[in-house]
């Protein structure tokens, strides 16, 4: 018999170690490595068949026995795993690499995952989001289902929907989900930014925008209501878009006419400008003041300023300034504008010559051809007094009651007061003593009443031939007093002093009248017998004056020599001996 020695504790440890060393190569040949922590409950040689089928490499079908959520999505044709490219689990999820191995494989990295393979392309602001900003429990459509599948919300990417409202709050509170073109948020909004709603077309709404409405900020009509909601990363005020009253203008606008012109504003106004009246629609003739003439072209605001609904219009002065200062003249008759003017225009006035003939100054003669404003001139300071532009028609409007008692109220006295005491026919004095209204240049003055009666050629001479116009202070003056009455005062001495010794009684000048008369220049009164040293007798009486008195040129001009002349025969006839005894 064999005798056995009792085993010591050291021997037992050695035997145990040998058993483990011998058994380890056998297990390593059956399992390629430890499972991940997600599948660690399947670890062990007896549990291999939970995933693997004997004689087959594929494990996909067995995966779906546990991952029923993936199975359901594949059967429904939804999600990533329903596609052919992602049908084999082991292409992305590889096991037996140890407990800490990450089972989800991201070829390009998790943050670069291409969502378009899911039928949901990431664009705009979505591209800037971290994965878990969307893939979190708050956005899961049915959290209970995921819990039933034992999914960890901080790990799974399942459970989200693709419609905007699955992640974002609806700031319209469901008001815009009724129309076929408004079923989704993307009908109006893009992913770049929530505002502006670039896809929204107001023309497709029940209230197309025209005119000034196109420039109005949305919030002016669509007021906010309630607390703001979160859309993406921002708080958005809830604006009311539907229902929005818009059947009448007064749903948004105040009625400045307080109902006096009816509820339909568009009968008069257009959306381009509130102040622009639709002339084809509004009929002013239906009012108490039909617009005619120039009034038809006046803008509404010129009469209806500051919202005046019913401006006064009983008299022209209710709107227009008094162009003639009639009130200050205290002449009520002049305030009746219609007597002279019409709505066709302030000018020309309808005041006729017949009307003027009934005034205190009937027009006669040259006055009838004088422009009105030559007499009816605007008074100084008219523009300031009337509160109008100095260039306006009202600033130049006529003074209807100019002074007219004397001619000098309108006309300047060119005689500088010299004729004030002159009396005319009928003992008339002043300008009318000589002039009338027919012509200034045809005076009635009787020169015979002066100290120089006109006769002969003097009677035919123009006044200015003797009374030369002068100038004083830049104005023409025609003076009469102190005009010389001797011939030399007007006429040149063509004899160049030959008769200087023959002077007038007062010695003031040569006495031309001793030889000449006013009828013509010919020396009609000259008598060769008595007025010269050479009486004419015989043949001399028939000789022309110029034969002896020969004209010749002098420095002062042409002159006829009368004296001194020789009186001997030889001086004229020479000494040729002819005719001598």
3-state secondary structure of 275: strand
CA 219 to chain centre: 29
- Cβ count within 10 A of residue 513: 12
- Residue 392 in domain: no
Per-residue pLDDT at 83 exceeds 50: yes
Per-residue pLDDT at 496 exceeds 80: yes
Distance CA 156, CA 153 (A): 5
- Residue 555 in domain: yes
List, in order, residues 6 or more apart from 464 with CB less than 8 Å away. Answer: 478
For position 292, what pLDDT does the model report? 92
Mean pLDDT, range 279-301, rounded to an integer: 82
- Within this chain, do residues 63 and 140 fall inside the same structural domain, yes or no? yes
Q: What is the CA radius of gyration of the chain?
A: 64
Short-list 482, 481, 484, 485, CA closest to 419:
481
Distance CA 466, CA 480 (A): 9
For position 30, what pLDDT does the model report? 65
Short-list 415, 440, 445, CA closest to 428:
445
- Within this chain, do residues 471 and 450 fall inside the same structural domain, yes or no? yes
- Residue 232 in domain: yes
Per-residue pLDDT at 579 exceeds 80: no
Which of 128-137, 173-182, 268-277, 296-305 has the highest mean predicted lDDT (pLDDT)?
128-137
- Within this chain, do residues 128 and 177 fall inside the same structural domain, yes or no? no
- Within this chain, do residues 258 and 227 fall inside the same structural domain, yes or no? no
Token duo for residue 498: 């030959």
Region of residue 78 (left: phi > 0; alpha: psi -120 to 50; beta: else): beta
- Residue 9 in domain: no
pLDDT tens digits, 120-161: 889 999 999 999 999 999 999 999 988 888 888 888 889 898
CA 148 to chain centre: 73
- Within this chain, do residues 511 and 550 fall inside the same structural domain, yes or no? yes
Mean pLDDT, range 565-575, rounded to an integer: 86
Mean pLDDT, the chain, integer: 80
- Within this chain, do residues 29 and 114 fall inside the same structural domain, yes or no? yes
Round to the nearest angstrom and report the end-to-end CA distance of the chain.
Answer: 239
Short-list 77, 32, 40, 75, CA closest to 57:
32
Summarize the chain as % helix, strand, coil (round to 5): 35, 5, 60
Short-list 218, 160, 164, 162, CA closest to 187:
164
For position 467, what pLDDT does the model report? 82
pTM (whole model) above 0.85: no
- Within this chain, do residues 139 and 55 fall inside the same structural domain, yes or no? yes
pLDDT tens digits, 458-485: 998 888 888 877 766 556 677 777 788 8
For position 34, what pLDDT does the model report? 93
For position 24, what pLDDT does the model report? 47
Per the CB < 8 A criterion, the answer to whether 135 and 166 are in contact is no
Domain end marker among 290, 313, 336: 313
- Residue 276 in domain: yes
- Within this chain, do residues 49 and 103 fall inside the same structural domain, yes or no? yes
Short-list 238, 231, 245, CA closest to 174:
238
- Residue 548 in domain: yes
pLDDT tens digits, 19-72: 444 444 445 556 789 999 989 999 988 888 888 888 777 777 788 888 988 898
Token duo for residue 358: 């009934």
Domain end marker among 236, 257, 291: 236
Per-residue pLDDT at 332 exceeds 60: yes
Burial class (CB in 10 A: 0-12, 13-18, 19+), 264: exposed
Whether the link from the prior residue into 451 is cis, omega within 30° of 0, is: no
Mean pLDDT, range 364-373, rounded to an integer: 87
- Within this chain, do residues 83 and 193 fall inside the same structural domain, yes or no? no
pLDDT tier, 17 (very low <50, low <70, confident <90, very high otherwise): very low
For position 3, what pLDDT does the model report? 37
For position 168, what pLDDT does the model report? 85
Distance CA 189, CA 203 (A): 16
- Within this chain, do residues 124 and 29 fall inside the same structural domain, yes or no? yes
Long-range contacts of range 458-462, CB-CB < 8 Å, 24 or more positions apart? Answer: 458/518
Domain end marker among 313, 329, 362: 313
Per-residue pLDDT at 2 exceeds 50: no
- Residue 373 in domain: no
- Within this chain, do residues 143 and 171 fall inside the same structural domain, yes or no? no
pLDDT tier, 385 (very low <50, low <70, confident <90, very high otherwise): low
Distance CA 416, CA 470 (A): 11
List, in order, residues 6 or more apart from 514 with CB less than 8 Å away. Answer: 502, 525, 526, 531
Per-residue pLDDT at 7 exceeds 80: no
pLDDT tens digits, 386-416: 555 666 555 556 677 777 888 888 888 888 7
Per-residue pLDDT at 378 exceeds 60: yes
Burial class (CB in 10 A: 0-12, 13-18, 19+), 244: middle
Of the listed ranges 279-288, 313-322, 351-360, the least confidently predicted one is 279-288
- Residue 6 in domain: no
- Residues 301-340 as b/e (b if ≥16 CB within 10 A, e otherwise) read eebeeeeeeeeeeeebeeeebbbbbbeeeeeeebeebeeb
- Within this chain, do residues 417 and 515 fall inside the same structural domain, yes or no? no
Q: How many domains does the chain have?
A: 5
3-state secondary structure of 470: strand
Distance CA 369, CA 93 (A): 116
- Cβ count within 10 A of residue 14: 12
Which structural domain, as residue segments, surrounds residue 428? 406-483
Per-residue pLDDT at 5 exceeds 50: no
pLDDT tens digits, 410-447: 888 888 787 777 776 666 777 888 888 888 878 888 88
Per-residue pLDDT at 558 exceeds 60: yes
Per-residue pLDDT at 293 exceeds 90: yes
Pairing of strands 469-472, 551-554: unpaired
Mean pLDDT, range 344-350, rounded to an integer: 84
3-state secondary structure of 39: helix
């Amino acid at each position: 018999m064999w005798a056995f020695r009792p085993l010591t504790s050291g021997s037992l440890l050695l035997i145990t170690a040998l058993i483990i060393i011998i058994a380890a190569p056998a297990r390593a040949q059956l399992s390629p490595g430890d499972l991940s922590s997600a599948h660690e409950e399947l670890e062990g040689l007896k549990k291999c068949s939970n995933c693997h089928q004997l004689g087959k490499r594929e494990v996909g079908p067995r995966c779906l026995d546990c991952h029923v959520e993936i199975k359901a999505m594949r059967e429904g044709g939804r999600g990533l795993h329903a596609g052919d490219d992602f049908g084999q689990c082991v292409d992305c999820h590889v096991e037996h690499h140890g407990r800490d191995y990450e089972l989800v494989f991201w070829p390009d990295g998790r943050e670069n995952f291409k969502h378009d393979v899911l039928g949901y392309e990431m664009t705009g602001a979505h591209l800037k989001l971290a994965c878990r900003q969307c893939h979190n429990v708050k956005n899961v459509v049915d959290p209970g289902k995921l819990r039933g599948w034992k999914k960890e919300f901080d790990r799974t990417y399942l459970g989200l929907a693709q419609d905007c409202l699955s992640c974002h709050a609806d700031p319209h509170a469901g008001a815009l989900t009724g129309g076929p073109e408004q079923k989704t948020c993307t009908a109006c909004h893009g992913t770049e930014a929530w505002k502006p709603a670039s896809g929204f077309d107001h023309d497709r709404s029940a209230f197309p925008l025209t005119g000034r409405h196109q420039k109005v900020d949305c919030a002016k009509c669509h007021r906010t209501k309630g607390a703001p909601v979160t859309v993406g990363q921002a708080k958005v005020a809830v604006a009311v878009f539907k229902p929005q009253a818009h059947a009448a203008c007064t749903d948004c606008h105040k009625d400045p006419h307080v109902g006096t012109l009816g509820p339909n504003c568009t009968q008069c106004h257009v959306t381009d400008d509130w102040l622009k009246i639709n002339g084809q629609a509004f009929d002013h003739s239906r009012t108490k003041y039909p617009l005619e003439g120039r009034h038809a072209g006046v803008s509404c605001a010129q009469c209806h300023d500051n919202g005046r609904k019913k401006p006064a219009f009983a008299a022209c002065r209710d709107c227009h300034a008094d162009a003639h200062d009639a009130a200050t003249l205290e002449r009520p008759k002049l305030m009746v504008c219609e007597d002279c003017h019409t709505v066709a225009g302030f000018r020309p006035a309808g005041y006729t010559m017949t009307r003027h003939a009934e005034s205190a100054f009937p027009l006669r003669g040259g006055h009838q051809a004088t422009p009105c404003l030559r007499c009816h001139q605007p008074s100084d300071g008219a523009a300031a007094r009337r509160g109008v532009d100095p260039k306006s028609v009202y600033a130049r409007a006529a003074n209807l009651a100019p002074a007219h008692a004397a001619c000098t109220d309108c006309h300047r006295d060119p005689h500088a007061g010299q004729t004030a005491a002159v009396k005319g026919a009928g003992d008339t004095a002043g300008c009318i003593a000589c002039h009338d209204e027919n012509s200034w240049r045809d005076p009635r003055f009787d020169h015979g009443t002066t100290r120089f009666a006109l006769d002969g050629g003097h009677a035919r001479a123009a006044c200015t031939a003797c009374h030369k116009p002068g100038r004083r202070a830049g104005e023409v003056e025609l003076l009469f007093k102190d005009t010389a009455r001797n011939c030399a005062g007007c006429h040149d001495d063509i004899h160049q002093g030959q008769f200087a010794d023959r002077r007038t009684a007062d010695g003031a000048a040569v006495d031309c009248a001793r030889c000449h008369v006013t009828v013509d220049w010919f020396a009609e009164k000259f008598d060769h017998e008595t007025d010269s040293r050479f009486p004419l007798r015989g043949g001399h009486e028939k000789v022309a004056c110029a034969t002896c008195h020969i004209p010749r040129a002098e420095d002062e001009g042409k002159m006829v020599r009368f004296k001194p002349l020789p009186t001997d025969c030889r001086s004229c006839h020479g000494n040729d001996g002819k005719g001598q005894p």
